[in-house]
Structure 1
């Protein structure tokens, strides 16, 4: 399945293994299964630039449905996988690589918000199964996006520069036209790891180019908490200044 740029997503070998689609009874095998599903979901979402994954919509896509095998993940199993992804490693989970979106809204935040994906633990439990429909998928957690933003600010000389959020997400400022842009390489097996290389390539975009607005705000809030940015304005008139 191709993304907007025309590149094809490559599924891992485990995707062709029928037991991958049903919960495994052995605890160690189950843990390995959940790790592989987490890696696959993160890689899939990154490839297709999906920040909020709707399980209702995704359950019939190739992510959860292997038509060649005639095997699919049930909705309850998909929820269980995302539940595991949302837990910290200390709690036996997948390292907070997901966060349930509350039924009350998208979860956008202002400059006074907490750092990173803080507050994600307990959100899913409070929402209940009925609320576990849409989840943020953190192939990069907000604090990791914040580090990437800070690197970009440093490399492109954007300190003390005021940018609107539109410019930051969609504008030429986040392309490599005449500047150095980060290109990030993430494998299907380790979507949380990256190899940074600098390229003077006019076809490259900063990885956060086109980012979901709420994810950008969550990430900027990390820099605000660290004293590295100021977010101001309201709604579509918001801007940011980096320090």
Structure 2
């Protein structure tokens, strides 16, 4: 399942390439393929930023034929036969499968990016520091999508600490992600695991100390 901090009712505006059938097929020309990977990477980052998705489940976004219904409904009207696509899947919570599936599946074109090709895009994003398999295991299902990298989140937290005089203050991770004091900041509602990655960046710079375990984790800023 995708992890999201907030939901938005504003539909995502897909780029023109999304309506171009060859965009969903691996291109054999090296130059064209490189451009294709770049466009797909940009699309994934923009889509996840729009819906504040931090973790992307590939199995939810690209369900196999054994876990999703792909039948079409056929009706006959005045002698003409038309087919309509299935109603789609149902989101489990937040921005779930129903939304993330549209990222890789253009129902109007009846084109879907294959799982193998999606993983190649993720690998290209990994090389650019914009994606990482959760747990560091290559080829897993859950992927961190870094529309902001841990370093970029760390910079936002550090600026907030400086601007609000939080140096020397001890805070829980819950206060940082859900507390009233951080409302209006970009990191309010941030995935806690991703927040920890950002805090560890600050810790390495001597700007913070992370302590505690599990639900009792906190941080002190310097």
Match of 1:42 in 2: 45
Describe the superposition over 1:181-225 as per-residue Cα deviations: whole angstroms up to 9, x where unpaired: xxxxxxxxxxxxxxxxxxxxxxxx211111111100011000000
| Deviating 4+ runs (over 2 angstroms) | none
Where does the alignment leave 5 or more consecutive residues of structure 2 unmatched? 1-5, 64-100
Where does the alignment leave 5 or more consecutive residues of structure 1 unmatched? 88-94, 103-122, 176-204
Asked if 1:16 corresponds to 2:49, the answer is no
Q: 1:53 is paired with a residue of what secondary structure?
A: strand
How far residue 84 of structure 1 moved from its aligned partner, in angstroms, is: 1.3
Q: 2:119 is paired with a residue of what secondary structure?
A: helix
Asked if 1:233 corresponds to 2:205, the answer is no
How far residue 132 of structure 1 moved from its aligned partner, in angstroms, is: 2.8
Q: 1:40 is paired with a residue of what secondary structure?
A: helix
Determine the C-alpha separation between the residues in 1 that align with 2:182 and 2:130.
Answer: 25
Determine the C-alpha separation between the residues in 1 that align with 2:28 and 2:199.
Answer: 41
Over aligned residues, Cα RMSD in angstroms?
1.4
How far residue 5 of structure 1 moved from its aligned partner, in angstroms, is: 3.1
Match of 2:97 in 1: none
Match of 2:130 in 1: 97
1:69-218 mapped onto 2 (5 Å cutoff): 69-87=109-127, 95-102=128-135, 123=136, 127=138, 131-175=139-183, 205-218=184-197
Match of 1:63 in 2: 103
Q: TM-score, normalised by structure 2?
A: 0.77
Match of 1:51 in 2: 54
How far residue 38 of structure 1 moved from its aligned partner, in angstroms, is: 0.7
Determine the C-alpha separation between the residues in 2 that align with 1:142 and 1:170.
Answer: 18
Determine the C-alpha separation between the residues in 2 that align with 1:59 and 1:138.
Answer: 19
Instruction: Mark the structure with the bigger radius of gyration.
Output: 2
Q: 1:51 is paired with a residue of what secondary structure?
A: strand
Match of 1:190 in 2: none
